[in-house]
Amino acid sequence: MNDKFEKDEVVMIDYSAYGRLSFRKGKVIEVTQAGNLKVLEEGKTKHEIFTPFGKLRGSDGWNSTYVRKFSQELWDKYIIQNEKMSIRNKISQQNFFQYDIEDLRKIKEIIDNYESKNNDQQK
């Protein structure tokens, strides 16, 4: 990551792990003389410090938090992923014993239509 960040630039703080995208919007509030970035995450009052390479200062290991330039395409992928997870969670928490067979067929049809629509969009 050799991106140059500037003060007041909108960035994405990348908490992704195990293939699941996890981003938060943030703003660069200062670039120090050493090149470190002070980034304030949206909705928080305390800033984090990232190295000039975008890695969270003081973090170790392969699963570290990074800061990235804001990308609308990547942000949209993250939003779609969260939408799918939300739908999956709602479905998995349903008690389907209370539905009759016709209602279950309608639910299956809705899910199939949703999946086919999303598969068409990804192609």
Instruction: Convert the pLDDT of each residue in 51-81 to its tens digit.
Output: 988 899 988 777 789 999 999 999 999 998 9
What burial letters (b/e) apply to 58-90, b meaning 16+ CB within 10 Å?
Answer: eeeeeeebbbbeeeeeeeeebeeeeeeeeeeee
For residue 123, pLDDT over 70 is answered with no
pLDDT at residue 110, as a whole number: 84
pLDDT at residue 78, as a whole number: 93
For residue 100, pLDDT over 60 is answered with yes
pLDDT at residue 70, as a whole number: 94
Nearest to 48 by CA among 29, 61, 21: 29
